[in-house]
Amino acid sequence: MAQLPIHTPRLCLRNLNHKDIPDILDILDHPSVARILTMKADEPSVKEYIDKQNSYLPFQEGKYYDLAVEYKEEGKVIGLIGILCKQPLQGAIGWSIGFDYQRKGFA
């Protein structure tokens, strides 16, 4: 199993925290991104979403576990990556990247 956080040259994939709320609200500000995410674009809803995600064990079977996609150069969360573990060694991955960071080689 992967250890968190996961680092690439430009990104850090890590657990969400309450400091990410403003960045997630920025991501949700664009309709093309907001329509594919399940949370409402307000601070209490994003806080509740983060708390729910943090109540899961990493890669818990049957849970859709989201990680923050942090752009190291800016220290900003620019998206979310979700991992659904269906059974040992099987799963699905989905992601959403903020509109301003799309088409820049992040996904």
Give the model confidence (pLDDT) of 21-35 as tens digits: 999 999 999 888 888
Side-by-side strand order, sheet with 90-97: 6-7, 11-14, 64-71, 76-87, 90-97
- Helix or strand or coil: residue 37? coil
Q: What tokens appear for 100 in the block?
A: 């301003």
Instruction: Give 13 or 57, the one with higher predicted confidence.
Output: 13
Give residue 52's pLDDT. 93
Distance CA 16, CA 18 (A): 7
Name 36's Cβ contacts closer than 8 Å, sequence gap at least 6: 96
pLDDT at 58: 75
Do you find a cis peptide bond into 22, omega within 30 degrees of 0?
A: no
Nearest CA among 80, 79, 83 for reference residue 63: 83
Mean pLDDT of 62-74: 94
